[in-house]
Structures are given as structure tokens and as C-alpha cells.
Amino acid sequence: MIEYIKGILTELNPTEAVIEAAGVGYGIAITLPGYSALVGKEVESQKSKVESEEVKLFITEIIREDVHEVYGFVTKAERQLFELLLTVSGVGAATARMIMSAFSAEELRMLIATGNAKAMAKVKGLGPKTAQRIIVDLKDKAIKLDLGGDPTEIPMLDVEADTGVKAEAISALTMLGFASAASGKAVDKILKAQPDMKVEAVIREALKML
């Protein structure tokens, strides 16, 4: 069981970080808040150029007969929230990551604590019944989590509204399981309305539209 991975961040995009530790490169699935945290520390430009500085991600492994997936989180509390989501019937790792990409950890905890199933159900593929089940199953547990600050305060990547932002957003949405054509239309619509929107914000908005 891997508790955390600490090493050099060699690659980064909105859905995955590659960390090299002891000569091994680990491909780690991340959430948008996690990407934002790593961007604030490591990325020199929107093209994912990184400095040779150590980073640390707390790990959850999903191991089945035909699957070995590794998910990474900046804090233990975020990882715990992710693992709580996995205990809810009908919520798999992909859905849990999408939920935690659509909302910051603190936002999600507030939605659960206040019983706001309507807002949570906006996440693609979740639906009102599953959102309500999450609230019923996790309300007491989520309230007790110490998130140690609001992840939305972490600096985001400062980018121009150009084809680089569009390409990165579409790539991330495609990796999350959405069709490339539908993702492109959503991103185009968002950037047309707000050309200076940051890449993480574009992806968040697209998750609510697709």
C-alpha cells in the first residue's frame, strides 16, 4: 500500500502528474484542485514546463484484476474525502474524481453538509438520486473532515485565452471520458463568452455543461 509519493514532477496536465522517485516515473491521476496546487508551485507556462523541485502527493490505489490506477492528492483530507465518495453505492473512482474536479474539497463538503443535492447533481453522470445518496451516506463524516484551508485559494495558472488554453481544456475533458467534439463545442462557448478565463476554470464550467 502506497501512502504517498515524493519526487520530481516531470510532467503535468489537468488530469495527470508524473512524479519521478528513485528512478521510477509514476503516472498519477489528479483532480483540478490538485493540478492548480501543482501549477502554483511548478509550472513555468501553460505548456506544462516544470522545474526540478520535489513535490508530494498522498496516494489512493484502485487495484482490480484488470486495473491498477493511482490517484494523488495534495492533502490527506482531500484523499479521505475521495475515499469517502468511493464508499457510496454507484460512485466509482472516475465519478469521484469528476466530482472533486467540479468542486473544491471545501465546496463539496459544504454541499454535503447543507444537503444541496441539486448543485451536486450538475456533475456529468451523477444524477439527483446518486447526489442525494452521497449526502445521506456522508453528511456526518464529511462535516468532521479537517481540510486545512480552502483549495480554491491556491494560485491558478495565469494564461491567455488562446488555442493553448482551448487545447489543454479539451485534452483534459477527453481524458475524463467526454467526446472530443462535444468538449470542443463547450470550450469554444465558454472562451467566446470569457476569453481571459483560466484553464482550470474553463474545465470546471465545461463539466457543468457536458
pLDDT tens column, 13-45: 888 999 999 999 999 999 988 888 888 655 443
The pLDDT assigned to 152 comes to 33
Topology at the third CATH level for domain 159-209? Helicase, Ruva Protein; domain 3 (1.10.8)
Rounded distance between C-alpha atoms, residue 186 and residue 137, angstroms: 32
Residue 86 confidence class, pLDDT cut points 50, 70, 90: very high
Rounded distance between C-alpha atoms, residue 3 and residue 5, angstroms: 7
Q: Where in the chain is the domain with CATH 1.10.8.10?
A: 159-209
Rounded distance between C-alpha atoms, residue 132 and residue 118, angstroms: 9
Q: Where in the chain is the domain with CATH 2.40.50.140?
A: 4-73
What's the whole-model pTM score? 0.69
DSSP 83-124: HHHHTSTT--HHHHHHHHHHS-HHHHHHHHHHT-HHHHTTST
Q: Report pLDDT digits (tens) over 172-203.
A: 887 777 877 788 888 888 888 888 888 888 88
CA-to-CA separations, 209 to 98, 182, 183, 199, 206, in angstroms, rounded: 13, 10, 9, 15, 5
Q: Where in the chain is the domain with CATH 1.10.150.20?
A: 76-151
Rounded distance between C-alpha atoms, residue 110 and residue 171, angstroms: 29
The pLDDT assigned to 155 comes to 31
Rounded distance between C-alpha atoms, residue 84 and residue 130, angstroms: 14
Q: Are 104 and 33 in contact (CB under 8 A)?
A: yes
Higher pLDDT pick, 155 / 137 = 137
Rounded distance between C-alpha atoms, residue 102 and residue 7, angstroms: 27
Query: Which amino acid, one-letter code, is at 96?
Result: A
Q: Share the mean pLDDT of the chain.
A: 80
Give percent of the chain with pLDDT exceeding 90. 30
Higher pLDDT pick, 191 / 50 = 191
The pLDDT assigned to 25 comes to 94
- Domain 76-151: CATH class, spelled out: mainly alpha
Q: What is the CATH number of domain 4-73?
A: 2.40.50.140
